[in-house]
A and B are shown apart, each in its own frame.
Chain A
Amino acid sequence: MNARGNGSGNGPAPNGSTGAPVIRMRDVHKAFGPKKVLQGIDLDVGERESVVIIGGSGTGKSVTLKCILGLLEPDKGSIKVDGEEVVGLTGQARDRINAKFGMLFQGAALFDSLSIWENVAFGLIQGRGMGRAEAKKVAIEKMGMVGLGKHVADLFPAEMSVGMQKRAGLARAIAADPEIVFFDEPTTGLDPIMADVINELIVHVVKDVGCSALTITHDMASARKIANRVAMLYEGRIIWAGPVDQIDRSGNEYLDQFIHGRPEGPIQLQVRAL
């Protein structure tokens, strides 16, 4: 596993990104009891760059994202957003950082008790104190950007398909014009056509809206479509990172096994007999 641990401390970007990173993670560790999930993550996300973290289940992808979002506190290491250390931030200081973020959750995580437009406008009304009438206008505009018509504005999440819920979740993620958008398994559970629609929307968010994006996924088709750079996570470390067009000739046997979905190789599935 000689590709592991490619960078640590405050040195140069470990994964080949250029320019000042909007997110910089260095030597981030996180354990849950005896289980060490993150064992020294180093990762940069540059401005207007789309980075995709790939890796098998249980390798720490979601935990990485939650550490950046402040939903989990790392045990050790540094996470900087726009050069500001965010580990240990709480209260209003954390809210100020989170106001730079948008997040599309795996299951969209729309609020059941609110209509679609209220979901999309939530961050504007609660976070920024915008009036409801003005927030509704912005929400409907953002819904239009992800292909949701005005007629669905007053529906509730339970009245919509999974694909439409994901679109609404994406509209909510970009509603407050975030600097960085996070995508957690954005195409999981979608049919191939809807998955491609969501991928297109993510590309649109990065290219046209001008956000940086950090996505975690197992879906290689999605990764190839939306990534500028790919980072492979294995056993709590980034074992390979580089431009998306180099993943097929990386020379990394772990990455090769993963992207081709081969059961044989250095990655051993941890299957335990019941």
Chain B
Amino acid sequence: MNFVALIGRAFLGFLATAGRLVLFALAGVSHIFRPPYYYRLIWRQMVDIGYYSLPVVGLTGLFAGMVLALQSYTGFARFSAEGAVATVVVLSMTRELGPVLAGLMVAGRIGASIAAEIGTMRVTEQIDALTTLATNPFKYLVAPRLFAGITMLPILVLVADIIGIFGGYVVSVYKLEFNAPNYLKRSWEFLEVIDVVSGLVKASVFGFLVTLMGCYQGYNSKRGAQGVGAATTNAVVASSILILIFNYIITELFFSK
């Protein structure tokens, strides 16, 4: 087979996969809005994604904020701009590091777990069983997870932002000996609503992507343990890459001039 044909085949394969993913996403989202609503399942997913991800997202935010303060201080000290540390920490956390790091951590924790759970249900015929019991698998499995991802990630990111900014404050004040009231004043001085809102919008999109890829890969899992393993890996890798791509796109939409 010649090289051009190989590229053509790969491109067509990519388009077919993208088409299947978009149809899957549309079906999943449409079931969020159509009754019946499984409140118990939605609540369980919100607790799983939101509450149980708090420790890992909180720790990530804390250390990201602390490192950011240290690194920006050593960098800015070279041209006597140490005063900008507070602003850099707060803007970096709210705009970028909060949503991206929380998204990646949740992709590892939740994306993998969703893909493994739904993949196992696929290979053990539990999804077929749902259909024979007159229950739509999209409504029962996919919609609650998508809804929980879209709504819980912004809350997690808000927590990560606050903890990260606090981490930067602790390092700046107690290690780098900044003046505490001044540091706080500099933190809020240049922070705008759009900085926080853009981060929360990113979080919501990332939550959607992580849960979507977990559901899609699990739902289309091939037979056997190897199939479930591959689905889990694909879910984490694909959602991580999509997070980075959409991070750029959303940043461009909010802040490009």
Which A residues have a C-beta under 8 Å from some C-beta of B? Answer: 66, 69-71, 95-96, 98-99, 101-103, 105-107, 109-112, 122-123, 126-127, 172, 182
Contact = CB atoms under 8 A, between A and B. Distances in A.
B125 A109 contact: yes
A111 B130 CA distance: 9
B132 interface: yes
B213 to A, nearest CB: 21
Contacts of A69: 128, 131-132
A116 to B, nearest CB: 14
Contacts of A66: 128
B133 A126 contact: yes
Contact of B135 (A106, A109, A110, A126): A126
B208 interface: no
Contact of A107 (B124, B133, B135, B140): B124
A127 B131 contact: no
A71 B133 contact: no
B134 interface: yes
B251 interface: no
B126 interface: yes
Contacts of A122: 133, 135
A107 B129 CA distance: 11
B133 A70 contact: no
B128 A105 contact: yes
A126 B140 contact: yes
A215 B128 CA distance: 17
A109 B133 contact: no
B73 to A, nearest CB: 48
A105 B125 contact: yes
Contact of B134 (A99, A110, A111, A182): A99
A134 to B, nearest CB: 17
Contacts of A103: 129, 132
Interface of B: 120-121, 124-126, 128-129, 131-136, 140
Nearest to B126: A109
13 contacts: A66-B128, A69-B132, A98-B134, A102-B132, A103-B132, A105-B125, A105-B129, A106-B125, A109-B129, A110-B126, A122-B133, A126-B133, A182-B132
A66 B127 CA distance: 13
Given A69-B128, A127-B134, 10 more contacts: A70-B131, A95-B134, A95-B136, A98-B131, A105-B125, A109-B125, A110-B129, A112-B120, A123-B134, A127-B135
B98 to A, nearest CB: 32
A228 to B, nearest CB: 23
Contacts of B129: 103, 105, 109-111
B139 to A, nearest CB: 10
A95 B132 CA distance: 8
Nearest to A184: B125
A179 B124 CA distance: 25
B192 to A, nearest CB: 44
A241 B114 CA distance: 45
A127 B135 CA distance: 6
Contacts of B124: 107, 109
A95 B140 CA distance: 14
A35 to B, nearest CB: 15
A113 to B, nearest CB: 8
Contacts of A98: 131-134
B125 A107 contact: yes
B126 A71 contact: no
B134 A126 contact: yes
Contacts of A112: 120-121, 126
Nearest to A107: B124
B8 to A, nearest CB: 20
B222 to A, nearest CB: 13
Contacts of A109: 124-126, 128-129
Contacts of B126: 109-112
A109 B127 CA distance: 8
A112 B124 CA distance: 10
A-B pairs, top 9 by smallest CB distance, nearest first, are A127-B134, A109-B129, A95-B134, A109-B125, A123-B133, A103-B132, A98-B134, A126-B135, A105-B125
B131 to A, nearest CB: 6
B125 to A, nearest CB: 4
Contacts of A105: 125, 128-129
Contacts of B133: 98, 122-123, 126-127, 172
A124 to B, nearest CB: 9
Nearest to B140: A126
Nearest to A101: B132
A98 B136 CA distance: 11
A126 B137 CA distance: 12
Contacts of A123: 133-135
Contacts of A70: 131
